[in-house]
Structure 1
Amino acid sequence: MGLVPVAKIQNGERYTIISDYMGRPVEAYNSYGNVVWQADYDIYGDLRNIKGIRDFIPFRQLGQYEDDETRLYYNRFRYYDPRIGNYISQDPIRLAGNNPTLYGYVGDCNTQDDLFGLECGTPKDAQKKIKKGQGPNEISRIDAPQSNVPDSQWHAHGKGKWDGVINLDGSIHDSDPKFSNKTRKWLREHGWKV
């Protein structure tokens, strides 16, 4: 995750930030190796067991920045309240994000993220990205369901040696494309059950 905060410079002093597996800061060290800030998170992303000044490290869940006056987390386009575990601003892409609530984030925050709050995550969006060369190299194309084919669904075609097909529901068509974990994660972010 290239957007995980790793350092902070303040008044000429450098601090190293250590993050957890989700990219949330959990510790900060000064240049002498002493812990100057430490915290963990509750299920909604609010800080617990804080050591040091709460807002010394203002980064929270990946892509969020805490406003020290309101205690709300800012996600570039809307605000999240960790005390209630919900956004208080509607999703700027509305229902196009394939989420049944206008105040939702992603379907599974353990495997998905939406740093800018604008990721649609639909199979049609994945198809457009592949056509523009903006998706994983392992995918040659993504096809929509065909009305003349019974039980047809969105499907992603592999490229090269493993050129099988994987359907939206995760079933294999023809042969297994053997996509990497990174490609499978990208497909999950666009609605695939893989």
Structure 2
Amino acid sequence: MIQETGPNHPTSLYIYTDQNSYEPLARIDTDGNQEQHIRYFHTDLNGCPEELTDENGKILWECSFQLWGKRIHEIEHEPIEQNLRYQGQYLDRETGLHYNTFRYYDPDIGRFTQPDPIGLLGGFNLYQYAPNGLTWIDPWGWSSCRLRFMGRTPSKKSKTGQEVINRMRGEKRIIGEGNDMYFKSSTDGKWYNIKDADMAHKTDAVAYWNQTGGFHGPKSKDVRGFMRDPNNYELEYFRHNRSQGAKLGQTYKKPEDFIGPAEKSSYF
């Protein structure tokens, strides 16, 4: 969404956090007298707007949401409508669905209403929004960017996961066996049961993609090599891992934003 206009409301121009982002920063409303008013967005970790304020910090609109984007309580302190939701989504107030570029998203069930337009390339679940509504985004209504570009993260039971466990055991950061296995968090130094562990990247996947992986292409040999390399992982308590990822404030660049190896000869 860049701009919206209509006969019964002012023209609104949207400003985002950067040129590759879908997280709103501000909007400039121009009324019938050509007077401009700047409104500022205050967003959740996933970029979903929670408040809209004026230049003086006065709250004009606020809304609380459940994890998958369902409204809990929406308040308009001024006669102002705010329809942006998850990054890339726009609320259709007649249906309650979120327009998500290539399809509609239903926040009541946390799923899309149409199958993924890129088919099984986005994963086996054609209606899934993302594995995690707090730290993952899907601004185009395709599969989540991480899944499409990087592929799946190996599980703890995979070959990669077992190599991570063996390495951490050698580092004295894992004790016990089976259901009584515990690991030591590098974030707070506490011990947690293995069932509460995420396979956490030492270098976050989005940072790797934006700096290196994107030049090789989605799910390329190099990218999948990064995702399968046990040296890139450690076990981390899931709440720490997911909150740290959200705090990065980065989003995946699109493949067309990169000059890959295939095009390199044309530029050098």
| TM-score grouping bracket, smaller chain normalisation | 0.5 to 0.7
Unaligned runs of at least 5 residues, structure 2: 1-16, 152-207, 234-244, 253-268
Alignment of 1:30-179 (within 5 A): 30-52=54-76, 56-98=81-123, 100-118=124-142, 119=145, 121=148, 135-138=209-212, 143=221, 154-156=224-226, 168=228, 170-172=229-231
Higher helix share: 2
Q: Give yes or no for contact 2:47–2:86 (8 Å, CA) kept in 1.
A: yes
Unaligned runs of at least 5 residues, structure 1: 125-133, 145-153, 157-166, 187-194
| 1:3 maps to amino acid | Y
Q: Determine the structure 2 residue equivalent to 1:129.
A: none
Q: Give yes or no for contact 1:44–1:82 (8 Å, CA) kept in 2.
A: yes
SS at match of 1:96: helix
- Percent identity for Structure 1 against Structure 2: 26
Instruction: Give me the whole-angstrom Cα distance separating, in 1, the residues matched to 2:110 and 2:150.
Output: 28
| 2:28 maps to amino acid | I
- CA deviation string 1:83-116 (max 9, x = no partner): 2222111111111112x22111222333322211
Deviation at 1:32, TM superposition (A): 3.6
Pick closer, same or farther for the CA change 1:34–1:105 going to 2, 3 Å: same
Instruction: Give me the whole-angstrom Cα distance separating, in 2, the residues matched to 1:77 and 1:143.
Output: 28
| Structure of higher RCO (CA pairs closer than 8 Å, 6+ residues apart) | 2
SS at match of 1:69: coil
Q: Give yes or no for contact 1:23–1:62 (8 Å, CA) kept in 2.
A: yes
Deviation at 1:34, TM superposition (A): 1.5
Q: How many residues align structurally?
A: 148
* CA-based RMSD: 3.2
| Larger Rg, first or second structure (1 or 2) | 2
Q: Determine the structure 1 residue equivalent to 2:203.
A: none
- CA deviation string 1:56-75 (max 9, x = no partner): 11110111111122221011
Q: Give yes or no for contact 1:16–1:30 (8 Å, CA) kept in 2.
A: yes
| 1:4 maps to amino acid | E
Which of 41, 61, 69 lines up with 1:17 in the alignment? 41
Deviation at 1:123, TM superposition (A): 5.2
SS at match of 1:37: strand
SS at match of 1:60: coil
Please, what TM-score do these two structures have when normalized by structure 1? 0.63
